[in-house]
Amino acid sequence: MIMDIKTLLTDYLNYLEIERNRSPKTRENYEHYLKEFMAFSKAKSAGDITEDAIRNFRLNLARRDLKKITQNYYVIALRNFLKYLAKRDIKSVAPDKIELPKTPSRQIAIIEYGDLERLLEAPTRLAEASAKAGGNTLRALRDKAILETLFSTGLRISELCALSRYIDIARGELSVRGKGDKLRIVFLSDRAKKAIKNYLDKRTDADEALFVSLTKGTSDKRHATSVIGRIIPRAVQRLVNYYARKAGIAEHITPHQLRHQFATDLLLNGADIRSVQSLLGHSNISTTQIYTHITNKELREVHKSFHGRRRK
């Protein structure tokens, strides 16, 4: 009996979620990539997936001017689907027939340390101004705590938004569930611990989220700032960019860039790459190695300082 492609796709997506323990977001992405291929190739069964169909689909992706890394996502999803079919002894194209396109190595941009310090201090200046005007400082205290936590821990934005307020601030350790449902430990700096304590001391609500969304309050107590639930990633993105502009930084700054700053700061100060890999929650060391092009800049100064001294 030949199973139709829609049934096989549903089975595969269920396999990803249940047996491979992939996140709902991963399932959603794979479904999108594979359905695009099915629609393009008009495949009705596994046997309709041919090398020619795959080649034409990849040509279509390239002509759509998609980034190489985005094209890779489609190809990886298709290759993994074919691996699943092979595992079930369902005849189709052999997965090893599909080669991934070469992509240029990722380059990470970081901001200067002085710019970073101004960014982290920007909410403090806002809090001071708000207090002098008789306003509510909870928002500025929250934002300060968010920025310091991002730089202190290197958390992904989704991980930050999922944090609980019931943490041992004095100990400064957070247990985080990251990609692939993997647990890891991250650590709070003294500055982050102080910022979180100041923020939580100001909170009067019982919401279990560490970082919450707030209404726009005024100095009028009848319209004071109030909590309206857990903060969402988009709000964190907006506040990071807002304070970057307040700090006079021309570049567009994102929460993920603070994760980059965290990693490069550790490496520049002598941390070994395996430790940084663990702190970031990277499954593969090659993902962490994208930061080495930045730290390698230090080698120029080493060469300049120590090479050829006896020739002078």
Active-site annotation, residues: 156, 179, 256, 259, 282, 291
Phi, psi of 206 (to 5 degrees): -115, 15
Within 13 Å of residue 117, how many CA atoms lie on the same side as its CB? Answer: 3
Q: How far apart are CA 108 and CA 290, in angstroms?
A: 7
Instruction: For the chain, list the strands marked E by DSSP.
Output: 173-177, 183-187, 212-214, 227-230
Residue with tokens 């909870």, as numbered in its chain: 138
DSSP reduced 3-state for 34: helix
Per-residue CA distances from 113 to 75, 116, 147, 248, 264 (Å):
39, 5, 14, 13, 11
Q: How far apart are CA 177 and CA 95, in angstroms?
A: 32
